[in-house]
Amino acid sequence: MVTLEVLNLSYTFSQKKKQLPVLNEINFTVETGQLVALLGPSGCGKSTLFNIISGLLTPQTGEIYLNGTLISGNTGMFGYMQQKDLLLEWRTVLKNLLIGPEIQKEPLSEAVSEANEFIEQLGLQGFANSYPNQLSGGMRQRVALIRTLLFKKDILLLDEPFGALDAMTRTVMQTILLDIWQKSKQTILLITHDIEEALILADKIYVLTARPASIKAEIDVPISRPRDISVRDLIDLKSSLYDKLKIEMQQVFDTT
């Protein structure tokens, strides 16, 4: 079943009387329960795409459907973790985590219990009453991820959720995300620059071109989890993805 459908989506920014095309007729689908990765060169428009899907920007051309219903320009349909953690500095970690349940008027006692479980699972024990300025960048990202999960939306948009983490912590967090996803049955659309991360996590990978972005390739990853990036099938996929991205990265440098 197709959950999310993006059709012929294009977007252009106006900057100082100049036009900057960012997206060019983007088309892709995400099926219910899938974990799908968007992989593309830096600055190609991936975050702009998420802002449009989430309703923060209105598409100039094209349409977005959720479960067959047109939702272009509507907010509140997704759990959205942006690149910046956007934590409220005057609220403790726990209070930041409760924003979603508060907005949605859910019983806070249950939300606190669930938040504390995530705090322990993501290695934030002892920081529930700390403020964001007392946390490292990686810890702030983990808080932002928990906050997104506690909105309890059927579809999550995760924009580089582990980009601020060191390699070892990133590996642990990937495992935790997979565990949460497999238990929750949520649908996840993930932006990443990391080819190995896409291969470890995703059921399907969409490769984007350099700006203005379009879909260059759609690659299924029909390999059971947990995955070992050193196995031959994943090595071959990694090589193929690297070759595709190398061409697009060269295009970025050729146009700057």
Q: Write out pLDDT tens, residues 31-90.
A: 999 999 999 888 888 999 999 999 999 889 999 999 999 988 787 889 999 988 999 999
Sheet with 79-81: strands ordered across: 79-81, 155-159, 187-192, 35-39, 204-208, 215-220
Residue 173 has pLDDT above 70, yes or no: yes
Cβ neighbors of 80 (< 8 A, separation 6 or more) are: 50, 54, 148, 156, 157, 159
More confident residue, 165 or 96: 96
Instruction: Give the pLDDT of residue 164.
Output: 73
Average pLDDT over residues 104-119: 91
With bands split at pLDDT 50, 70 and 90, how would you rate the model's confidence at 27?
A: very high
Domains of the chain listed by start with CATH number = 1-78+155-164+189-256 (3.40.50.300)
Tell me how long the chain is: 256
With bands split at pLDDT 50, 70 and 90, how would you rate the model's confidence at 133?
A: very high
Helix (H, G, I), strand (E, B) or coil at 87: coil
219: which strand partners?
A: 205
Rg (CA), the chain: 18
Give yes or no for a contact between 159 and 47, defined as CB atoms under 8 angstroms apart.
yes
With bands split at pLDDT 50, 70 and 90, how would you rate the model's confidence at 240?
A: very high
Average pLDDT over residues 137-166: 90
Please give the mean pLDDT across all residues of the chain: 91
Residue that the structure tokens 């948009």 belong to: 157
With bands split at pLDDT 50, 70 and 90, how would you rate the model's confidence at 255?
A: low
Distance CA 7, CA 27 (A): 5
With bands split at pLDDT 50, 70 and 90, how would you rate the model's confidence at 256?
A: low
Distance CA 139, CA 144 (A): 9
Lowest pLDDT segment from 35-44, 143-152, 164-173, 216-225: 164-173
158: which strand partners?
A: 81, 190
Residue 254 has pLDDT above 70, yes or no: no
Residue 226 has pLDDT above 70, yes or no: yes
155's enclosing H/E stretch is: strand 155-159
Average pLDDT over residues 140-154: 92
Give yes or no for a contact between 59 and 73, defined as CB atoms under 8 angstroms apart.
yes
For strand 79-81 and strand 35-39, is the pairing parallel, antiparallel, or unpaired? unpaired
